[in-house]
């Protein structure tokens, strides 16, 4: 970018940030946010039929580290910090039950790469692939080490290319990545014919080592492991208020926690605590899973030996096949992604918006697998993604006392990264960030998002006028 352009861009960003900083406090006063959660079970939750949340916190306690949020980020942080510092008292507070957020409501694709970073810089590209490949291996190692009852498959995933131009660019990129030693492979349409014949696919990129996991089984399966190490887990315990100081005070409906350090593992719900409100916005994505396919139905579908796929569209569609033969499918159109006014974090399943969203994903499925539209749908759900304007995550520590650790903003691409977040926070907590300093989003400034009503209007204008959704 030319220097004059850069200074204009940064001037615009600075003006937007200044305007946002002035209007946020007023908007926050006029429009208090409500802490609400989705409650329709996903197919992943159905894989943990006997799971019972732990009782809520009652009374006043103190801890060395308090983690807010029981998804991949929170549980992985508890796991790595307690292994590194076994004497420290760690408390995990989860508003509903472990994995009730995005970690138990996603598309299941455990992928390489980090959203929002491009591949122009070969050194950075190599480092990111090395990091996320290690993250994928770490997930599998954890499952094996603790014999977690988690359905998973790591037989690779595809990115589908939906125009000749995109396929050509993807082919060139796959060759560039191979030269860097990254084992991706471009598959020409002839290799995909049996599966994606009907729907205008011009090629695909295959990433070995990636796959699919049941996030609810994974996160919930780690609960006994953490408890054995002494981590105190309180479910049904929403943190209603956070008072920052040298000792941080967390208020919950029936108790309080005092701790010198806190971790925000709260994904798209973070603004409810009054933090990072100008950095993140929650976006709902709808998903469904069919009843299990018979081997014959799988054959008719043409599903071959890979775990799942995502396409290269702005309104990204994704699908995967579980170990038990359910087809999971989501995204694919503006209706399939919903932003609710004032950072709403619950999409009622009976609402017209949710129904439109589900109908839209069925239409997209018909484009990819015409025969699948006859299959009965067994589960429908939605979940909250935490989107940043540049799609890059937010990792670091914050506050006057630098005692609020955060790993947020995965922008729909968090299964691998949220599991790495625990290693990152454990290092930071231990005072050594050398392994992570190179990450472009570590402790970095983010482009600010304006408050309501500009936020809602901006989202509507962007998606309706351009016909695009933020690519997640």
Ligand X SMILES: Cc1cc2nc3c(=O)[nH]c(=O)nc-3n(C[C@H](O)[C@H](O)[C@H](O)COP(=O)(O)OP(=O)(O)OC[C@H]3O[C@@H](n4cnc5c(N)ncnc54)[C@H](O)[C@@H]3O)c2cc1C
Q: How far is the CB of 104 from ligand X (least distance, A)?
A: 7
How many of the chain's residues bind ligand X (CB under 6 A)? 44
| Contact assessment for residue 65 and residue 264, using Cβ atoms and an 8 Å cutoff | no
Q: Can you name the residues that pair with 288 across neighbouring β-strands?
A: 329, 380
SS3 115: coil
Binding mask 301-320 for ligand X (x = CB under 6 A): -----------------x--
Residue 112 and residue 140: Cα distance in Å, rounded? 14
Residue 108 within binding range of ligand X, rule CB under 6 A? yes
| Contact assessment for residue 419 and residue 76, using Cβ atoms and an 8 Å cutoff | yes
| Contact assessment for residue 195 and residue 304, using Cβ atoms and an 8 Å cutoff | yes
Q: How far is the CB of 455 from ligand X (least distance, A)?
A: 19
The residue from 66, 111, 226, 360 that contacts ligand X (CB under 6 A) is 111
Q: Which of 101/209 has CB closer to ligand X?
A: 101
* CA angle, 387 then 456 then 398, to 5°: 40
The residue from 48, 132, 159, 285 that contacts ligand X (CB under 6 A) is 285
Q: Which of 197/429 has CB closer to ligand X?
A: 429
Q: Scanning residues 21 to 50, which ones bind ligand X (CB under 6 A)?
A: 35, 37
Q: How far is the CB of 13 from ligand X (least distance, A)?
A: 25
Q: Can you name the residues that pair with 243 across neighbouring β-strands?
A: 249
Q: How far is the CB of 111 from ligand X (least distance, A)?
A: 5
Q: How far is the CB of 388 from ligand X (least distance, A)?
A: 12
Residue 289 within binding range of ligand X, rule CB under 6 A? no
Residue 274 CB partners (closer than 8 Å, separation 6+): 28, 242
Q: Which of 106/403 has CB closer to ligand X?
A: 106
Residue 74 within binding range of ligand X, rule CB under 6 A? yes
SS3 264: strand
Q: Can you name the residues that pair with 160 across neighbouring β-strands?
A: 204, 311
Q: Which of 94/278 has CB closer to ligand X?
A: 94
Residue 463 within binding range of ligand X, rule CB under 6 A? no
Q: Scanning residues 214 to 243, which ones bind ligand X (CB under 6 A)?
A: 238-239
Q: Can you name the residues that pair with 67 across neighbouring β-strands?
A: 92, 263
Q: How far is the CB of 320 from ligand X (least distance, A)?
A: 7
Q: Of how many residues is the chain composed?
A: 472
Residue 317 and residue 160: Cα distance in Å, rounded? 10
Residue 281 within binding range of ligand X, rule CB under 6 A? no
Residue 70 within binding range of ligand X, rule CB under 6 A? yes
| Contact assessment for residue 310 and residue 159, using Cβ atoms and an 8 Å cutoff | yes
Residue 68 within binding range of ligand X, rule CB under 6 A? yes
Of 52-60, 226-234, 261-269, 357-365, the window that binds ligand X (rule: CB under 6 A) is: 261-269
By beta carbon distance, the residue nearest ligand X is: 414
Q: Scanning residues 401 to 440, which ones bind ligand X (CB under 6 A)?
A: 410, 412-415, 418
| Contact assessment for residue 132 and residue 416, using Cβ atoms and an 8 Å cutoff | yes
Residue 301 CB partners (closer than 8 Å, separation 6+): 195, 293, 327, 369, 371, 372
Distances (CA, A) of 298 to 133, 195, 372: 29, 11, 9
Q: Which of 375/415 has CB closer to ligand X?
A: 415
| Contact assessment for residue 363 and residue 322, using Cβ atoms and an 8 Å cutoff | no
Of 78-86, 107-115, 131-139, 223-231, the window that binds ligand X (rule: CB under 6 A) is: 107-115
| Contact assessment for residue 361 and residue 333, using Cβ atoms and an 8 Å cutoff | yes
Q: Which of 191/314 has CB closer to ligand X?
A: 314
Q: Scanning residues 369 to 408, which ones bind ligand X (CB under 6 A)?
A: 383-385
Q: How far is the CB of 139 from ligand X (least distance, A)?
A: 11
Q: How far is the CB of 218 from ligand X (least distance, A)?
A: 10
Q: How is the chain split among helix, strand and coil, in percent rounded to 5?
A: 40, 20, 40
| Contact assessment for residue 372 and residue 364, using Cβ atoms and an 8 Å cutoff | no
Question: Which residues are at the interface with ligand X (CB under 6 A)?
Answer: 35, 37, 68-74, 93-96, 100-103, 105-109, 111, 238-239, 265-267, 269, 272-273, 285, 287, 318, 330, 383-385, 410, 412-415, 418
């Amino acid at each position: 970018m030319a220097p004059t352009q850069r200074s204009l861009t940064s001037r615009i960003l600075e003006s937007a940030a200044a305007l946002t900083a002035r209007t946020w406090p007023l908007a926050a006063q006029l429009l208090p946010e409500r802490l609400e959660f989705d409650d329709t079970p996903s197919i992943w939750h159905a894989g943990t039929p006997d799971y019972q949340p732990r009782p809520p916190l009652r009374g006043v306690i103190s801890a060395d580290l308090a983690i807010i949020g029981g998804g991949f980020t929170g549980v992985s942080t508890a796991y790595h910090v307690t292994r590194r510092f076994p004497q420290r008292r760690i408390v995990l507070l989860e508003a509903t039950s472990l994995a009730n957020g995005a970690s138990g409501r996603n598309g299941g694709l455990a992928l390489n790469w980090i959203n929002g970073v491009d591949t122009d810089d070969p050194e950075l590209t190599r480092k990111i692939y090395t990091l996320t490949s290690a993250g994928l291996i770490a997930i599998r190692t954890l499952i094996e080490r603790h014999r977690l009852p988690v359905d998973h498959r790591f037989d690779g995933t595809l990115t589908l290319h939906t125009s000749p131009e995109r396929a050509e660019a993807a082919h060139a990129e796959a060759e560039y990545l191979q030269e860097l030693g990254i084992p991706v492979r471009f598959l020409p349409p002839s290799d995909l014919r049996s599966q994606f014949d009907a729907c205008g696919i011009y090629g695909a990129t295959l990433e070995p080592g990636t796959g699919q996991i049941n996030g609810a089984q994974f996160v919930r399966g780690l609960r006994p492991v953490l408890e054995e190490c002494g981590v105190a887990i309180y479910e049904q315990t929403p943190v209603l208020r956070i008072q920052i100081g040298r000792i941080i005070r967390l208020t919950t409906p029936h108790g309080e926690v005092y701790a010198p350090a806190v971790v925000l593992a709260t994904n798209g719900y973070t603004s409810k605590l009054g933090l990072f409100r100008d950095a993140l916005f929650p976006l709902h994505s709808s998903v469904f899973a069919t009843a299990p396919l018979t081997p014959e139905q799988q054959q008719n579908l043409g599903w071959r030996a890979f775990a799942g796929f995502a396409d290269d569209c702005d309104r990204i569609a994704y699908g995967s096949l579980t170990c038990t033969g359910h087809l999971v499918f989501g995204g694919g159109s503006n209706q399939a992604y919903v932003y609710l006014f004032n950072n709403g974090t619950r999409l009622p399943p009976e609402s017209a918006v949710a129904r439109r969203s589900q109908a839209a994903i069925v239409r997209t499925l018909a484009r990819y697998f015409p025969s699948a539209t006859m299959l009965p749908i067994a589960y429908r759900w939605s979940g909250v993604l935490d989107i940043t304007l540049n799609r890059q995550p937010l990792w670091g520590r914050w506050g006057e006392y630098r005692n609020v650790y955060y790993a947020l903003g995965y922008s729909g691409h968090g299964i691998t990264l949220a599991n790495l977040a625990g290693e990152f926070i454990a290092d930071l907590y231990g005072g050594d960030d050398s392994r992570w300093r190179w990450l472009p989003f570590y402790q970095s400034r983010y482009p600010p998002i304006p408050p309501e009503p500009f936020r809602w209007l901006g989202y509507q204008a962007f998606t309706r006028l351009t016909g695009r959704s933020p690519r997640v």
